[in-house]
């Protein structure tokens, strides 16, 4: 089965660490990153989709962050 996650965070090194951690756990970048201004909080936000192939069958109870 193929899993999908969309990682987001403020534009700090924490976002890069989040993506790097996912890549080192076997996730693969999917598409281009996004970058937008969050007017409510006055910060820039980053986003990146990642995908991963794993054995098994999909269930809504699946904890994607633990894969």
Tell me: the pLDDT tens digits for 9-63?
Answer: 999 999 999 999 999 999 999 999 999 999 999 999 999 999 999 998 988 888 8
DSSP string covering 7-50, please? EEEESSHHHHHHHHHHHHTT-EEEEEEEEEEETTTTEEEEEEEE
Q: Is the pLDDT of residue 65 over 90?
A: no
Rounded distance, CA 7 to CA 12, Å? Answer: 13
Q: Taking the model in full, what pTM does it have?
A: 0.86
Residue-level pLDDT at 11: 93
Residue-level pLDDT at 28: 98
Q: Is the pLDDT of residue 64 over 90?
A: no
The answer to whether 41 and 8 have CB atoms below 8 angstroms apart is no
- According to DSSP, the residues that pair with 25 across neighbouring strands are none
């Amino acid at each position: 089965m193929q899993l999908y996650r969309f990682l987001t965070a403020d534009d700090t090194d924490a976002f890069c660490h989040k993506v790097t951690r996912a890549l080192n756990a076997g996730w693969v970048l999917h598409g281009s990153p996004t970058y937008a201004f969050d007017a409510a909080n006055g910060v820039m936000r980053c986003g990146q989709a990642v995908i991963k192939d794993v054995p098994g069958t999909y269930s809504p109870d699946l904890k994607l962050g633990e894969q």
